Structure 1
Amino acid sequence: MLKQAFFKNIFLLIPLFLFSIEIFSQQKYWLEYNARLKDVPEIELENLKAELKNKYQEDISFHYESKWHPVISIETTHEIATELSDYEWINSITSQIELVPTSLISTNSSELSYALEQIQAHYLMDSMKLSGKGVNIGIIDGGFMDADKEPSLLHLVENDQIKFFKDFLLAGNNNPFYGKRLAQDDHGTQVLKMIAGSNDNTIIRYGMAKNASIYLARTDHGIRERRLEEDYWIEAIELFHEMDIKLVNSSLGYTDGYDKRKENHSVNEVNGKSSMITKTAQMAAEKGMLIVSAAGNDGHNKWKIISLPSDAKDVLTVGATRFDDWSRIYYSSVGPEKLEYVKPDVACFAANGTSFSAPVITGLAACIWEYDSTLSNYEVMEIIKNSAHLNEVPNNYLGYGVPNGKKIHKTLLKKGLYNLSSKLIKVEVSENDYTIQIPDGIKEIVIYHKSSDKNVKEELTVSIESEQKFLIIEKEADIKYSTIVAQDRWLTEIMWK
């Protein structure tokens, strides 16, 4: 069941530079103007732009104007950018060179997608030269249409890395690249891109496992939704096990969206043991397979919780975060409160659905297994979870948090779980509020108010003023814990008495 964030088509229409990393020259800038101009007739802003264009003529060019933010992308000289900062209606001028990911500091000439930058993948891809070579990856999805035409996947075809394909929907179809766009038959193509995509022309790496061997199974129809697709999913898992494929990505989830209402699941089934598809996923884990499963995109819907089979205890369930503050992005499904263990397990950035965060973690797992093929699936999961930024205080929004490539790098070299010095500060508070001191350089924090040690009742993002040194955290009704976190830089857990 292909359940994606509803704004998929909107994101596809926005220029590429907003959602993929490009190499920006020093002559490109973000121009942020006074937000109140959004409330005045468009002609006024156009007049202001015309004024600058008239004054600077060919020395300034206007590019994309954001629909969501009071921001325009411009190209000009450093001298003119400095002058523009004096205009009353301009709040700030920021060189886009500042957006170049820190991974570029490495000697590798490739540039990373947002998700790979977030998890610091360059520690494995650049420093350790890992690329999933020798690892077999099974992908169960809805179709891989035109994957042979996608620039970032051409190397898979040219190097004969796609080893197997089975179409469970269309008998006799042996062409993995067949499909219809209307039926979302390119969903698996985008998933494959986030596992193994690498574009030599634009030097962008989308996935970590570009040299892995790929095995494809098409089990899901993008338009018709039937329970029969779960049978196909189970059959694909069992087939992959027979083929000795230990690592499988599933960016499919099953909930209540079937064509026949009587086939719908109920939220009560999301308990890790009721549904047949969940039982199969758990059995696969017990047989040594690592199933990386998308948490689902119902975080803002009535269903809200993770989909099946992501509730299986030993499946590696992946949610989605925002890129800036690492908070849960609103569509990412959350773990059921009654579940005895934490779900999702980890999370990372995905602009358009957990379907595209799960394959990032699949590529990460492939690199770990490439380095040490003797590791069990449970050990690979533990390495990934132990590295994540909330690993000491996991919750049902992000699980153990965003994995850290640097920490995984050290773990693999040490051949044992490696713990960087703990950033966690635990405090017990008997009052109704607590004042915390904010470390230097922290600009944004996320607060998780929890009814138990893992169940989140409220997630808040707080912007820190430049001179702000303290923040008062107030106890909310029925809240027993509050986690205060700033990416992987700062972590405090308040236990309210």
Structure 2
Amino acid sequence: MLRSLILFVFALYSVGATAHQKKYWVIFKDKGQANTAASLDRPLYSPYVSALKKEQLPIICQSKWLNAVSTIMEPQDSARLLSYPFIAQIRPLNQHLQLMCSHIASPPGLEKDQYAFNQMHGQAFADKGLNGTGVRIGVIDAGYIDANVKPSLKTIFEHQHVMATKDFISPWKADLYQSPETFQDWHGTEVLECIGGIFEKGKQQKGFAPNANYYLARTDHGNQEYRGEEDYWVQALEWLDSMNVRLVNSSLGYAKGFDDPAENYRPADMDGQTSMISKVAEIATTKKGMYLVVSAGNEGDDPTWRVVSAPADAEHVLSVGATEYAYGNKFEYSAQGPQHLDYIKPDIACYAPSGTSFSAPIITGLVACMLQYKPQLTNEQITAIIQKSSNLHQFPNNFIGYGVPNCRRILDMMNDQGSLFPNKLLVAEEKTITLPIQHEEALIFQKKDERNVVSQSIKKVKRKGLTLKRMQGISRTTVVTPDEVYEVKWAAL
């Protein structure tokens, strides 16, 4: 009965005191006149916060990096607040997020536990004894119900690898692993499993980093399919930074689905600069030295959206899409990179049949192994090595980025050895070209320019090779096989 009352009170609080009240960021101009050039980590100027409290405005979250607070108020209150000389801007806070899984109602099946690990030749890391030892990993998610009793996470909990937890949604809860509030509370448990899960049968690894140290943050109350709190995400990232956590996984994203459609993001807003959450992700990666691995999103087959969600659009996060296993083609649901960007998104992709929620954490574990092997790697070096190890390293596209990473090549590159996956550029002077491919089938990306894909397909290869015909509106065609990649540049006719 008490728990039901708490949930009822929370539901009232989360929507505000009236139906008209909404959540906003109130952004300050400085951190006090004497602190105009203050560092990111300097606390907010307390007189500014006190002034808002005197206005009877509840302070929900405070962000040092944004120099802002979130609060709930009437829309018409913003004009009055902007008269304060220390307030720079007031922005509506989009309060809805998407868990990056394609089967929201129940956890994904585990019949293909090791596919992603095998797809990227993860055994090469395991043979080197790489398992994330000593690396701090932050996880920002919706809930971790039963994580401490799940057999696949036995190694993490028996060896006390969870170093800290924080529930930003229900801070009064004494136990992050029990007392479920919504059907989505399992989501973070499955994400954690993808980072460091080990299955008893044959000691199979699903995740790369069972020996890493984990810091778990809960920032979403998944009472609705698209319910979330962007300000809690920001606060969690700052908390992880204060705990000296460098590597962070987030399988959450912000796109659309808001109660008020006027507050929806637009695909054009996915530019790495418009959303506050993407701005914070850029601060974390470029100014705080954190490494963020983020799910690309699951609207790839939604004709009204299709592109990645924030903060996967941020330039310096590693955004991860999802591929099928056999050929590495993009799962239809996996979000693609916006064509208006001047950089590649998603960055890479790997196998994940149930959503990009579960491709990103696989890569997070991979990064943890890289940091275990060479802790001195910079963010730029980590990203460059992962991209160069992937099969489309020379011809990335907005469907799967640089392609699927390869752990053997990553190890070689960290040791200044090895070679890249064979990529060949061919110029087709005629309307057709035949490639000397020996495999039975090949993955085809038809592109309108160097990186933007119009369509993908699996094509049968005849005995004499693969013959391609130039298609209307196509300037390049990428052909992917297990051994090499061909990039066909169609000459002007």
Give TM-score scaled by structure 1 length.
0.76
Matches within 5 A, 1:100-179: 113-126=114-127, 128-179=128-179
Look up the match of 1:333: 335
Q: Contact 1:142/1:222 (CA < 8 Å) preserved in 2?
A: yes
1:342 Cα deviation after fit: 0.4
The answer on 1:445 being equivalent to 2:442 is yes
1:469 Cα deviation after fit: 2.7
| Partner AA of 1:484 in structure 2 | V
Matches within 5 A, 1:182-197: 182-197=182-197
Which of 458, 461, 473 matches 2:468? 473
Q: Contact 1:226/1:259 (CA < 8 Å) preserved in 2?
A: no
Look up the match of 1:494: 488
Look up the match of 1:2: 98
The answer on 1:239 being equivalent to 2:335 is no
Q: Contact 1:194/1:207 (CA < 8 Å) preserved in 2?
A: yes
1:204 Cα deviation after fit: 1.5
- Judged with a 3 Å threshold, the aligned counterparts in structure 2 of structure 1 residues 222 and 265 are, in CA distance, closer, same or farther, namely same
- Judged with a 3 Å threshold, the aligned counterparts in structure 2 of structure 1 residues 157 and 235 are, in CA distance, closer, same or farther, namely same
- Judged with a 3 Å threshold, the aligned counterparts in structure 2 of structure 1 residues 228 and 152 are, in CA distance, closer, same or farther, namely closer
Deviates more, 1:270-279 or 1:223-232: 223-232
CA deviation digits over 1:179-229, x for unaligned, max 9?
Answer: 537431000000000001112344121101000000000001222377861
1:351 Cα deviation after fit: 1.2
Which of 450, 453, 456 matches 1:456? 453
Look up the match of 1:382: 384
| Partner AA of 2:422 in structure 1 | K
CA distance in 2, matches of 1:379, 1:173: 40
CA distance in 2, matches of 1:403, 1:166: 32
CA distance in 1, matches of 2:103, 2:230: 26
1:317 Cα deviation after fit: 0.3
CA distance in 2, matches of 1:422, 1:7: 34
Look up the match of 1:293: 294
The answer on 1:484 being equivalent to 2:479 is yes
- Judged with a 3 Å threshold, the aligned counterparts in structure 2 of structure 1 residues 180 and 422 are, in CA distance, closer, same or farther, namely closer
Matches within 5 A, 1:256-405: 256-286=256-286, 287-301=288-302, 302-405=304-407
| Partner AA of 1:423 in structure 2 | P
1:345 Cα deviation after fit: 0.3
1:349 Cα deviation after fit: 0.1
Q: Contact 1:166/1:174 (CA < 8 Å) preserved in 2?
A: no
Deviates more, 1:455-464 or 1:352-361: 455-464
CA distance in 2, matches of 1:187, 1:422: 35
1:169 Cα deviation after fit: 0.8
Give TM-score scaled by structure 2 length.
0.77
CA distance in 1, matches of 2:193, 2:221: 20
CA distance in 1, matches of 2:325, 2:293: 21
Look up the match of 2:33: none
Look up the match of 2:45: none
Look up the match of 1:411: 413
Q: Contact 1:346/1:399 (CA < 8 Å) preserved in 2?
A: yes
1:381 Cα deviation after fit: 1.3
CA distance in 1, matches of 2:141, 2:344: 25
1:11 Cα deviation after fit: 8.3
CA distance in 2, matches of 1:389, 1:179: 44
| Partner AA of 2:447 in structure 1 | K
CA distance in 2, matches of 1:198, 1:228: 30
CA distance in 1, matches of 2:347, 2:163: 30
Q: Contact 1:449/1:483 (CA < 8 Å) preserved in 2?
A: yes
The gaps in structure 1 that reach 5 residues or longer are 21-112
Q: Contact 2:445/2:457 (CA < 8 Å) preserved in 1?
A: yes
- Judged with a 3 Å threshold, the aligned counterparts in structure 2 of structure 1 residues 201 and 430 are, in CA distance, closer, same or farther, namely closer
1:419 Cα deviation after fit: 5.1
The DSSP-based 3-state class of the residue aligned with 2:149 is: coil
1:341 Cα deviation after fit: 0.2
CA distance in 2, matches of 1:382, 1:181: 41
Superposed structure 1 runs of 4+ greater than 3 Å apart: 2-12, 224-228
CA distance in 1, matches of 2:276, 2:101: 26
CA distance in 2, matches of 1:324, 1:292: 24
Look up the match of 1:80: none
1:329 Cα deviation after fit: 0.8
Q: Contact 1:346/1:385 (CA < 8 Å) preserved in 2?
A: yes
RMSD across aligned positions (CA): 1.9
1:475 Cα deviation after fit: 1.0
CA distance in 2, matches of 1:276, 1:419: 40
Q: Contact 1:225/1:258 (CA < 8 Å) preserved in 2?
A: no
| Partner AA of 1:347 in structure 2 | A
1:445 Cα deviation after fit: 0.7
CA deviation digits over 1:110-166, x for unaligned, max 9?
Answer: xxx00000000111111x100100000000000000001110112212111101111
1:430 Cα deviation after fit: 2.4
Q: Contact 2:148/2:154 (CA < 8 Å) preserved in 1?
A: yes
CA deviation digits over 1:280-316, x for unaligned, max 9?
Answer: 0011111211100000011011211000000000000
CA distance in 2, matches of 1:123, 1:196: 16
CA deviation digits over 1:3-53, x for unaligned, max 9?
Answer: 4454566885x7x54x33xxxxxxxxxxxxxxxxxxxxxxxxxxxxxxxxx
The DSSP-based 3-state class of the residue aligned with 1:309 is: coil
| Partner AA of 2:476 in structure 1 | Y
CA distance in 2, matches of 1:458, 1:143: 36
The gaps in structure 2 that reach 5 residues or longer are 1-96
The DSSP-based 3-state class of the residue aligned with 1:448 is: strand
Q: Contact 2:131/2:210 (CA < 8 Å) preserved in 1?
A: yes
CA distance in 1, matches of 2:361, 2:274: 26
1:377 Cα deviation after fit: 1.6
The DSSP-based 3-state class of the residue aligned with 2:253 is: coil
